[in-house]
Amino acid sequence: MPANPEVKGGVTPYLTVDGALKAAEFYQKAFGATLAATHPPDDKGRTMHVHLYINDGSVMLSDPYPEHGHPFKEPQGFNITLGVTDVDAWYKRAVDAGSSAVMPPQDMFWGDRYGQLKDPFGVLWAINGPVKK
C-alpha cells in the first residue's frame, strides 16, 4: 500500500470508533470500501490510522487513545451521507452486512430517495440518491 495514498473528496470524515480495524473490515462488506492504507495495531490491538475509499471518497478511522487525549465518545449529532445512484441496493448491502435499519429508504419531499442505518460501531449513515422511475 502506498505510504501516502491520495485523499479523495472535498470533506473527509475521520471517525474514532472502538475497533477501527474491525470497522474497516465491516465497511468493506457494507459499503464496498477499499483499503488505501493502515497502520499496524499496537500491543492492545488498536490502530492510530486506517484510510478507506468509499464511493470515490476518503473515510479515515482511528481507535480511541485516551492516554493521548482522544477518548472514545459515542457518536452523536451527525451522520455520514452517501450519495449513490441506487439507494435500495446500498441500503440492503449495509443491512445484510449487519447495520441496523433506522429509516428504510423512501421517496422524500425534496425529490430524492433517502434512508438511514446505524453500523455496529454506532455511526449513523444516510443513503441518498435519485428516485427510481
pLDDT tens for 1-13 read 667 888 888 889 9
- Domain assignment present for 75: no
- Domain assignment present for 6: no
What's the whole-model pTM score? Answer: 0.92
Among 42, 68, 94, the domain boundary falls at 68
- Domain assignment present for 63: yes
- Domain assignment present for 121: yes
Q: What is the mean pLDDT of the chain?
A: 94
Give the phi and the psi of residue 12 in degrees, each rounded to 5: -115, 110
**Quick check: 52 and 36 in contact, CB under 8 A?**
yes
- Specify the pLDDT at position 78: 93
E-strand spans in the chain? 14-16, 34-38, 50-54, 57-62, 80-83, 100-107, 112-118, 124-130
Q: In terms of residues, how long is the chain? A: 133
Residue ranges of the chain with per-residue pLDDT less than 50: none
Element (H, E) at 90: helix 87-97
Neighbours of 109 (CB within 10 A): 6
- Specify the pLDDT at position 108: 97
Q: What's the structural domain count of the chain?
A: 2
- Specify the pLDDT at position 8: 86
- Specify the pLDDT at position 4: 83
Task: Please give the residue range of the domain that contains residue 100.
Answer: 80-130
